[in-house]
């Protein structure tokens, strides 16, 4: 059994949420540089220039890449051979993750974006609770992946329960239609997470996982879905929305697809839209 200190988890989370918000990761920077070469509209090119300058200032001055520092969403992959040491007053892994989030958002002067009730809307003032997805895996792996998920892009996401007869074409049309309807709202150039399969609740998580699991620039390991990703990216970039909705050839930097088995009568699909401020970072202990 591997023993992991909850205080160490808290401290790692505290640093993780800050670094993700201050430093645009290499895969996102590379994707911006690659896609900038395809842009032809002067306004679109100016947006790319500003995004790169913004990322530089954020990194150097330790400022949020965006004022919307997002909900703190975590994927925790936890081996069956792990135990946690309750230390420094922490009694559970959930508490350690929430405490790390609280301390990281406070220390980094990152905006607190969580309300404790969806209707009455009082801010919790510390960006908790964190949104934690747990996956139990074999062995002694302990990996935490964080995404700071801004509200503007999340609001433009969609889910639809298709009958299998809709086929691949039905799903691809739904993805393109969702991006088209979103227009400039999710701060393009965007990243499109697509979930297919599972059931109603699971497909939404698949779409989010599509944003977390793989770095930008990679493709689905199954050539069938890799081809679907390429086709969707091409269709989306023909919509002409362009960087920040200014018009142009680059509306999306990437499309990532995740799939799962499903019921014989269903074909669920979900689209989780992510903005250019793609703040994903992980650590392992």
| Least separation in angstroms between CB 154 and ligand SF4 | 8
> Cβ closer to ligand SF4: 179 or 275?
275
Say how far apart CA 211 and CA 208 lie, in whole Å.
5
| Least separation in angstroms between CB 274 and ligand SF4 | 8
What residues line the site for ligand SF4 (CB under 6 A)? 66, 68, 70, 150-153, 186-187, 275, 277
| Least separation in angstroms between CB 66 and ligand SF4 | 3
Say how far apart CA 74 and CA 71 lie, in whole Å.
10
Q: Three-state SS string across 269-285, please? A: EEEEEECCCCEEEEEEC
| Least separation in angstroms between CB 127 and ligand SF4 | 13
> Cβ closer to ligand SF4: 191 or 203?
191
Phi, psi of 214 (to 5 degrees): -125, 145
> Cβ closer to ligand SF4: 48 or 84?
48
Say how far apart CA 254 and CA 211 lie, in whole Å.
10
> Cβ closer to ligand SF4: 145 or 157?
157
> Cβ closer to ligand SF4: 233 or 275?
275
| Least separation in angstroms between CB 102 and ligand SF4 | 20
Q: Which residue has the tokens 């969707």?
A: 232
Structure tokens at 48: 């790319």
Say how far apart CA 263 and CA 2 lie, in whole Å.
38
> Cβ closer to ligand SF4: 267 or 281?
281
> Cβ closer to ligand SF4: 220 or 278?
278
| Least separation in angstroms between CB 19 and ligand SF4 | 17
| Burial of 140: CB neighbours in 10 Å, binned 0-12, 13-18, 19+ | middle
> Cβ closer to ligand SF4: 32 or 82?
32
Phi-psi region of 230 (alpha: psi -120 to 50; beta: other; left: phi over 0): alpha
Counting other chains too, the contacts that 93-96 makes at CB distance below 8 Å and 24 or more residues apart are 93/6, 93/9, 94/132, 95/6, 96/6, 96/7, 96/9, 96/10, 96/13
Say how far apart CA 44 and CA 184 lie, in whole Å.
12
Q: Which position's Cβ is nearest ligand SF4?
A: 150
| Least separation in angstroms between CB 187 and ligand SF4 | 3
| Least separation in angstroms between CB 240 and ligand SF4 | 20
Phi, psi of 117 (to 5 degrees): -140, 135
């Amino acid at each position: 059994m591997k023993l992991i200190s909850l205080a160490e988890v808290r401290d790692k989370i505290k640093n993780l949420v800050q670094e993700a918000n201050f430093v645009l990761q290499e895969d996102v920077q590379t994707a911006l540089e690659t896609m900038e070469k395809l842009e032809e509209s002067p306004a679109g090119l100016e947006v790319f220039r500003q995004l790169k300058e913004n990322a530089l200032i954020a990194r150097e001055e330790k400022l949020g890449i965006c004022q919307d520092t997002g909900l703190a969403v975590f994927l925790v992959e936890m081996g069956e051979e792990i135990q946690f040491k309750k230390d420094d007053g922490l009694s559970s892994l959930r508490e350690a993750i929430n405490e790390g989030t609280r301390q990281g958002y406070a220390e980094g002067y990152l905006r607190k974006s969580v309300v404790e009730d969806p209707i009455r809307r009082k801010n919790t003032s510390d960006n908790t609770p964190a949104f934690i997805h747990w996956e139990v895996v074999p062995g002694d792996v302990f990996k935490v992946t964080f995404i700071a998920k801004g509200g503007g892009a999340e609001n433009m996401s969609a889910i639809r329960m298709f009958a299998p007869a809709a086929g691949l074409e039905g799903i691809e049309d739904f993805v393109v239609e969702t991006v088209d309807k979103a227009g400039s709202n999710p701060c393009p150039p965007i990243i499109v997470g697509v979930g297919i399969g599972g059931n109603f609740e699971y497909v939404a998580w698949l779409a989010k996982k599509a944003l977390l699991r793989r770095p930008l620039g990679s493709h689905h390991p199954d050539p069938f879905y890799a081809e679907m990703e390429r086709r969707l990216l091409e269709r989306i970039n023909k919509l002409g929305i362009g960087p920040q909705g200014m018009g142009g050839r680059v509306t999306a930097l990437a499309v990532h697809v995740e799939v799962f088995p499903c019921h014989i009568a269903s074909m669920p699909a979900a689209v989780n839209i992510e903005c250019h401020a793609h703040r994903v970072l992980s650590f392992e202990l």
